[in-house]
C-alpha cells in the first residue's frame, strides 16, 4: 500500500506535505515525491523515504499553496525515481498521486499508445494520468473534473488519488475506490490524506470518502459527487480526539479494536487466495518458489515473540499435513549460533512490522548461505518484505497496539493456507479433505464473531484474577503455541509473570508451582490430545490450582473440575488455534485494564523492535 497527501489553501503546501508523508511512511517507502503549484507546477521525487526526498529537494523553491505528495510501495515498476509519484501526463496537463492498483492498465496503456501517448515509467498510475489528459483534450468543452471522472469510469481496480490540473490551478480533485482517503476541513484550506493521522493536528472536521466519491476542492469550497456525476452529501466526523481516538472509533484501545477486527482480518488474509469454488488455494506471492518449497529438505521458520508463536503453529500444520520437516527458531538465537544451512533449505521469516532487527539479521544470514528466504509480513515496503526472495502479505491492516493480535491471526491464517496448499500439491491429502479444510478456514471469521460476542464473560473471569502475580498457560499439539501466545499477551500488557508450557511438561517441574493462588489457563479444545490434557487438569485440580479452561462448545465434562470455563465453537483441529487465541487475548486485555496498565503502549516495549 502507499500513502498520499494533498493540500489546498492559503499557506505553503510544502510543510503539510512532508510532515504528512512522514506520518504515512508505515504504508511503504520505496520512493517518495511531491508536486507543488505556484505559478507553474513543480515535481520533486526520488527513490527512498521522506528524508531522502527532503535531501533531494534541498534548498529548491517549493513555494505554492496547492500540493500533493506520495510515499510508495512498488506494485508496478521498480522502486526508483522514474516510477516514483507524482506522475505527470505526457503534455503536463495533469499531475497525479495514486494509491491502489489499476488492474486493466495494460489494455488502457495500449489504447493510449495508439493515440500517440508515450510513457516514462512502468507504472499503472502513469496510464491513469494520461487517460485523464486524453479525455481532457478529446473535447473542447471538457473540464478537468469531467476528464478525471471519465478516466476513473474506465478503471478496473482500486484507487485513492489526488490530482492537480495545469489549466485549473485553483483546485484539487480527490477520489477513491478501495483505497482510503480522508479530507480535513481547515480555515480556507483542505487537507487530504490516506488516513487521519497527518490531518488530525490541523483539523477537527474530517470527511471520510466512500468508494466512487470524487471531491472537487478549492481553498474555500468542496463539492462531492460520484464518478458518474451524482451529487453526494458529505458527513463530517468531528474528531475532537487524539490521533488514537480517531482511529480507535468506538473502542477504548487500539488493542481491543484490533482484537475485534480479527474476523475481517482473517477474511482479508484469505480473500483472493481461495478459488471462488473453494476448491483450491493459491498464494500468488509464492508461485515462483513453490517447487522449492515442495522439494525443501527442511523449512526453517524464524521470528520473534508473537510471530515466532505463529511459526510454531505453522510447524505443527506443515508437518502434519504436508509432511515437510519444519524447524522453528528464535531469530535472535539463529543469527548467532552459526546454523547449518544449505541451498535445499527454505527459510520463512515471519514479522508483522517487517523491521525486527533480529529477524532481519537472521534472514540475511540465511540468504548468505544460499537458502531460499521467504517472508510473511504485514507491512508492504518493509525491509523484510523487500529482502526476501518471495513472500505473502498478511493483509491485517495497520496494527497499532503494541500487543500483536490481528497480525498473529493473519500470520496463522497464511501458515494454514500454506500447509494446505503444500499438502495438496504433494498429494498428502485427498481433494475432498482439502476442500473440507478450506471450508473450515472460511468458516472461522463467523466463529470468531460468536466468541467476541461473549467478551463480557471473559471480562468477568478476568475480574476474579486481577490480583494474581503469576499464571501458567498449558496446551498440547497446535494449541501449545496458543498457550505460549496467551502467556505472552498477559505478561506484556498486565506485567503479570506468565509462562506457557506444553501440558505434558507439567510433571517435569512446573507442577511444583501449582497451589491455590496460581491461575492455570488450560487450552482444552476437543482434538487428538484431549484425553491427555484432561489428565493434566486432574493433576492440577488435585493440587488446588485455579483452572480456567478453554473448551469446545458443549463440552460440559470439565465443568465440575475447573473454576472457570470458556467455550469456543466446534472446529477441525487444523483451525482451532485461530479460535482458542481469542479468549486469551481478551483475558489479557481485561486483566491489564483491571490493573490500570497502559494497554496500547505497555512499559518497556515498542511496536517494532528495530534494534538488537
Nearest approach, Cβ of residue 266 and ligand AGP (Å): 17
C-alpha cell at 222: 468542496
Nearest approach, Cβ of residue 352 and ligand AGP (Å): 3
**Residue 220 burial (CB count, 10 A):** 13
Q: Which residues pair with 548 in a beta bridge?
A: 521, 564
Closest CB to ligand AGP among 189 and 392?
392
Closest CB to ligand AGP among 307 and 536?
307
Q: Which residues pair with 3 in a beta bridge?
A: 71
C-alpha cell at 262: 480479527
Element holding 78 (H helix, E strand): none
Catalytic residue from among 47, 257, 406, 607: 607
Nearest approach, Cβ of residue 601 and ligand AGP (Å): 11
Closest CB to ligand AGP among 307 and 576?
307
**Annotated catalytic residue 2:** yes
Distance of CA 593 to the CA centre of its chain: 25
Give first-to-last CA distance, the chain, whole Å.
Answer: 27
Rounded CA separation 274/420 (Å) = 11
Nearest approach, Cβ of residue 179 and ligand AGP (Å): 24
C-alpha cell at 88: 505527470
Element holding 147 (H helix, E strand): helix 144-153
- Under DSSP, the state recorded for 320 is I
Distance of CA 89 to the CA centre of its chain: 32
Query: Helix or strand or coil: residue 347?
Result: strand
**Residue 218 burial (CB count, 10 A):** 16
Buried residues in 128-154 as b, exposed as e (16+ CB within 10 A):
bbbbbbbbbeeeeeeebbebbbbbbeb
Nearest approach, Cβ of residue 492 and ligand AGP (Å): 6
In this structure, the chain runs to a length of 612
Residues 189, 194, 197: CA angle, nearest 5 degrees: 75
- DSSP for 439-450 reads HHHHTHHHHHHH
Closest CB to ligand AGP among 26 and 566?
26
Which residues would be at the binding site for ligand AGP (CB under 6 A)? 304-307, 351-353, 356, 359, 402-404, 492, 608-609
Q: Cell 507439567 sits at which residue?
A: 506
Nearest approach, Cβ of residue 384 and ligand AGP (Å): 8
- Under DSSP, the state recorded for 602 is -
CB 306 within 8 A of CB 404: yes
Closest CB to ligand AGP among 194 and 332?
332
Closest CB to ligand AGP among 556 and 604?
604
Nearest approach, Cβ of residue 486 and ligand AGP (Å): 11
Rounded CA separation 306/587 (Å) = 16
Nearest approach, Cβ of residue 307 and ligand AGP (Å): 4
Give the residue nearest to ligand AGP (CB): 305
Closest CB to ligand AGP among 261 and 492?
492
C-alpha dihedral (13, 16, 18, 22), degrees to nearest 10:
-160
CB 542 within 8 A of CB 515: no
Catalytic residue from among 2, 144, 165, 377: 2
Nearest approach, Cβ of residue 311 and ligand AGP (Å): 10
Closest CB to ligand AGP among 306 and 576?
306
Closest CB to ligand AGP among 286 and 304?
304
Write the CA distances from 512 to 236, 515, 533, 537, integer angstroms: 59, 8, 18, 14
Write the CA distances from 376 to 256, 314, 391, integer angstroms: 24, 12, 6
The catalytic residues are 2, 607
Amino acid at each position: 500500500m502507499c500513502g498520499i497527501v494533498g493540500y489546498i489553501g492559503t499557506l505553503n503546501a510544502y510543510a503539510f506535505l512532508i510532515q504528512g508523508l512522514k506520518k504515512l511512511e508505515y504504508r511503504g517507502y520505496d520512493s517518495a515525491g511531491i508536486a507543488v503549484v505556484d505559478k507553474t507546477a513543480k515535481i520533486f521525487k526520488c527513490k527512498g523515504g521522506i528524508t531522502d526526498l527532503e535531501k533531494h529537494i534541498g534548498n529548491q523553491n517549493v513555494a505554492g499553496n496547492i500540493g500533493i505528495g506520495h510515499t510508495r510501495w512498488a506494485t508496478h515498476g521498480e522502486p526508483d525515481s522514474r516510477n516514483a509519484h507524482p506522475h505527470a501526463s505526457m503534455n503536463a496537463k495533469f499531475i497525479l498521486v495514486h494509491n491502489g492498483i489499476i488492474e486493466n492498465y495494460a489494455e488502457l496503456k495500449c489504447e493510449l499508445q495508439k493515440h500517440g501517448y508515450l510513457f516514462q515509467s512502468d507504472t499503472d498510475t502513469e496510464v491513469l494520468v494520461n487517460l485523464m489528459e486524453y479525455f481532457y483534450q478529446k473535447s473542447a468543452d471538457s473540464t478537468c473534473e469531467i476528464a478525471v471522472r471519465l478516466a476513473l469510469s474506465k478503471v478496473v481496480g482500486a484507487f485513492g488519488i489526488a490530482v492537480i490540473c495545469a489549466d485549473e490551478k485553483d483546485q484539487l480533485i480527490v477520489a477513491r475506490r478501495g483505497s482510503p482517503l480522508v479530507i480535513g476541513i481547515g480555515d480556507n484550506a483542505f487537507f487530504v490524506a490516506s488516513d487521519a493521522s497527518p490531518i488530525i493536528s490541523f483539523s477537527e472536521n474530517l470527511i471520510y470518502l466512500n468508494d466512487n466519491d470524487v471531491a472537487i476542492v478549492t481553498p474555500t469550497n468542496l463539492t462531492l459527487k460520484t464518478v458518474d456525476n451524482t451529487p453526494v452529501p458529505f458527513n463530517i466526523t468531528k474528531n475532537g480526539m487524539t490521533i488514537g481516538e480517531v482511529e480507535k472509533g468506538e473502542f477504548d484501545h487500539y488493542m481491543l479494536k484490533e482484537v475485534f477486527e480479527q474476523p475481517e482480518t482473517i477474511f482479508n488474509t484469505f480473500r483472493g487466495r481461495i478459488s471462488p469454488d473453494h476448491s483450491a488455494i493459491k498464494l500468488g506471492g509464492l508461485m515462483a518458489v513453490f517447487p522449492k518449497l515442495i522439494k525443501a529438505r527442511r523449512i526453517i521458520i524464524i521470528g520473534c515473540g508473537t510471530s515466532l508463536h505463529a511459526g510454531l503453529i505453522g510447524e505443527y500444520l506443515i508437518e502434519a499435513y504436508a509432511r515437510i520437516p519444519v524447524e522453528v527458531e528464535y531469530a535472535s538465537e539463529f543469527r548467532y549460533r552459526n546454523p547449518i544451512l544449505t541451498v535445499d533449505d527454505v527459510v520463512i521469516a515471519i514479522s508483522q512490522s517487517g523491521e525486527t532487527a533480529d529477524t532481519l539479521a537472521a534472514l540475511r544470514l540465511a540468504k548468505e548461505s544460499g537458502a531460499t528466504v521467504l517472508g510473511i509480513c504485514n507491512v508492504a515496503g518493509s525491509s523484510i518484505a523487500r529482502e526476501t526472495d518471495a513472500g505473502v502479505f498478511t493483509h491485517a491492516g495497520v496494527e497499532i497496539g503494541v500487543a500483536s493480535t490481528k497480525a498473529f491471526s493473519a500470520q496463522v491464517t497464511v501458515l494454514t493456507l500454506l500447509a494446505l496448499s503444500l499438502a495438496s500439491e504433494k498429494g498428502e491429502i485427498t481433494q475432498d479433505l482439502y476442500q473440507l479444510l478450506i471450508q473450515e478456514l472460511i468458516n472461522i471469521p463467523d466463529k470468531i464473531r460468536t466468541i467476541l460476542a461473549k467478551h463480557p464473560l471473559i471480562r468477568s473471569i478476568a475480574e476474579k484474577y486481577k490480583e494474581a502475580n503469576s499464571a501458567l498457560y498449558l496446551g498440547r499439539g497446535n494449541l501449545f503455541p496458543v498457550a505460549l501466545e496467551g502467556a505472552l499477551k498477559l505478561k506484556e500488557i498486565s506485567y503479570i509473570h506468565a509462562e506457557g508450557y506444553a501440558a505434558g511438561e507439567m510433571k517435569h517441574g512446573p507442577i511444583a508451582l501449582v497451589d491455590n493462588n496460581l491461575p492455570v489457563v488450560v487450552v482444552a479444545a476437543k482434538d487428538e490430545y484431549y484425553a491427555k490434557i484432561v489428565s493434566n487438569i486432574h493433576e492440577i485440580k488435585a493440587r488446588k490450582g485455579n483452572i480456567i479452561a478453554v473448551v469446545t462448545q458443549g463440552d460440559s465434562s470439565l465443568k465440575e473440575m475447573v473454576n472457570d470455563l470458556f467455550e469456543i465453537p466446534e472446529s477441525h483441529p487444523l483451525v482451532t488455534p485461530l479460535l482458542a487465541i481469542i479468549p486469551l487475548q481478551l483475558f489479557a486485555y481485561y486483566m491489564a485494564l483491571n490493573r490500570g496498565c497502559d494497554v496500547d503502549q505497555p512499559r518497556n516495549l515498542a511496536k517494532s523492535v528495530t534494534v538488537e
